[in-house]
Amino acid sequence: MRRRVCALCVAVMVTAAAWTAVAGDKEEAKQLFDAGLKLMHLDDFAGASANFERSVALYPTQNSLFNLANCYKALQRYGDAIVVIERLRKDFAGKLKPEIKDAVERQQQEINSLVARLIIQTVPAEATVSIDGKDVGTGPTLGPLLLGPGEHEIEAARLGHRSQRRSVKLVSGAARTEKFVLEGASGNLVVRANVAGAAVFVDGQQVGTTPLDEPLALPPGEHTFDVRAAGYEDAERSIEVQSDSKQVLDIVLAPKSAAPSSVASGATSASEISLSTNEPAKPKSRALRVVTWTALAGAVAAGAVAGTFLIIRSGQKNDFDKYNSLIGNPSTPAADIPAYESKRETAMNDVNRSKWIAVGCGIGAGVLAVTALVTYLLDSNGEESKSKTAVSVSPFGLGVKF
């Protein structure tokens, strides 16, 4: 019996709390509704719609939905107005006040007579469409979209493709279809080599010989370049081609090493002169090898951290751009702008912090890499009793190999 009484008391307390919460929402919704009416009388339909939206979210009523539809209509957001009207009819089916029912029917007829219906098709299907600077969705087919008569700027965009923008003039009561076919964006790459007549391969396919008369038009992304010439070592490079950009790739081909017999007979090459000196072998240094591998490992780790924070910074920059665009968008509710400004400031701080961490790690990686190279050269001097110095002459300058 005592347990039943306790359970009943808990149920009563929960019910009372729920009713209190509902009453609080209803009171706040009424205050927002009254503020929205005042703004409507001042012809501030953007501010009024923000108040009515919040009022409807807290406690929807026939009057709040009806006035929200009126604000959307005044702002020429005809599609949003139709959605609110349909919700009003659905949520209050059979309960609509006669005066609101008649007004809603007139309002919908007026909107239908005013708007134009626009269907947008995109190729490729994943293209994002914006109208008058506001995103409306992703292809392949959008609509019919209800828009007011007059000029509208439509843009379709997709990563790796050239965006398209066009101005469309719509007429009340008319339907129209616009198709956007986006071309793949390409980057222009100039390939230069120190040897004429060298064969140039891109991703395994030969595209010509040096010097290339025209820049290579390539799709965005990573590509592998292989340049080959008789008497020279093959040179292979990988490069990230950027869309709608012009990049230059300089490749220096190194002459192949002379055969041992020609060195013994005293033969020399015009592009490479070898000088030999005999010195007693130096003992290898275990400490130098430890320093070399430790510095190399540290350089790789620091480089990886720098790359990771660059990737993180890219995502944080996207967050900053998103909040910045929301703040600058006229359709953003005024009540949400302070929150977006706070998030934008936080995102900016994160971007700066990631940038400086990446820069610091990049500098550290460079210092460690130089340390590893120096200790490696010091250690390798003791591995052979004979050291060989090669001087290479090319159109790009003078090179010395130890």
**Is 367 part of any domain?**
yes
**How many folded domains does the chain comprise?**
4
pLDDT recorded at residue 13: 45
One domain, residues 47 and 147: no
pLDDT recorded at residue 218: 82
> Residue 11 belongs to what domain range?
2-113
One domain, residues 158 and 215: no
One domain, residues 39 and 53: yes
One domain, residues 143 and 216: no
One domain, residues 43 and 135: no
**Is 281 part of any domain?**
no
CATH of the domain at 33: 1.25.40.10
pLDDT recorded at residue 267: 40
Identify the domain boundary among 98, 113, 128: 113
Question: Which residues make beta-bridge pairs with 45?
Answer: none
The alpha carbon of 22 is separated from its chain's Cα centroid by a whole number of angstroms, namely 42
One domain, residues 31 and 67: yes
**Is 37 part of any domain?**
yes
Identify the domain boundary among 181, 199, 227: 181
SS (H, E, C) the chain: CHHHHHHHHHHHHHHHHHHHHHHHHHHHHHHHHHHHHHHHHCCCHHHHHHHHHHHHHHCCCHHHHHHHHHHHHHCCCHHHHHHHHHHHHHHCCCCCCHHHHHHHHHHHHHHHHHCEEEEEEEECCCCEEEECCEEEEECCEEEEEEECCEEEEEEEECCCECCEEEEEEECCCCEEEEEEECCECCEEEEEEECCCCCEEEECCEEEEECCCCCCEEECCEEEEEEEECCCECCEEEEEEECCCCEEEEEECCCECCCCHHHHHCCCCCCCEEEEEEECCCCCCCHHHHHHHHHHHHHHHHHHHHHHHHHHHHHHHHHHHHHHHHHHHCCCCCHHHHHHHHHHHHHHHHHHHHHHHHHHHHHHHHHHHHHHHHHHHHHHHCCCCCEEEEEEEEECCEEEEEC
**Is 259 part of any domain?**
no
pLDDT recorded at residue 342: 85
One domain, residues 128 and 209: no
**Is 158 part of any domain?**
yes
**Is 397 part of any domain?**
no
Based on its alpha-carbon atoms, the radius of gyration of the chain, rounded to whole angstroms, reads 36
One domain, residues 356 and 300: yes
One domain, residues 241 and 308: no
pLDDT recorded at residue 377: 78
Q: What is the pLDDT along the chain (402 residues), one digit of tens a residue?
A: 555 544 444 443 434 444 444 566 888 999 999 999 999 899 999 999 999 999 989 999 989 999 999 998 898 888 888 889 888 888 888 888 888 888 888 888 888 888 888 999 999 888 899 999 989 899 899 988 888 888 999 999 887 677 889 999 998 888 899 999 988 777 888 888 899 999 999 988 898 898 888 888 887 788 898 999 999 999 888 888 887 778 888 889 999 885 544 444 444 333 333 333 334 444 556 777 788 888 888 888 888 888 898 898 888 888 878 877 777 777 777 777 888 788 888 888 888 888 889 888 889 888 888 887 887 777 665 544 444 444 444 444 444 444
Identify the domain boundary among 155, 181, 207: 181
**Is 318 part of any domain?**
yes
One domain, residues 238 and 295: no
One domain, residues 92 and 14: yes
**Is 338 part of any domain?**
yes
CATH of the domain at 200: 2.60.40.1120
| pTM (predicted TM-score) | 0.40
One domain, residues 230 and 325: no
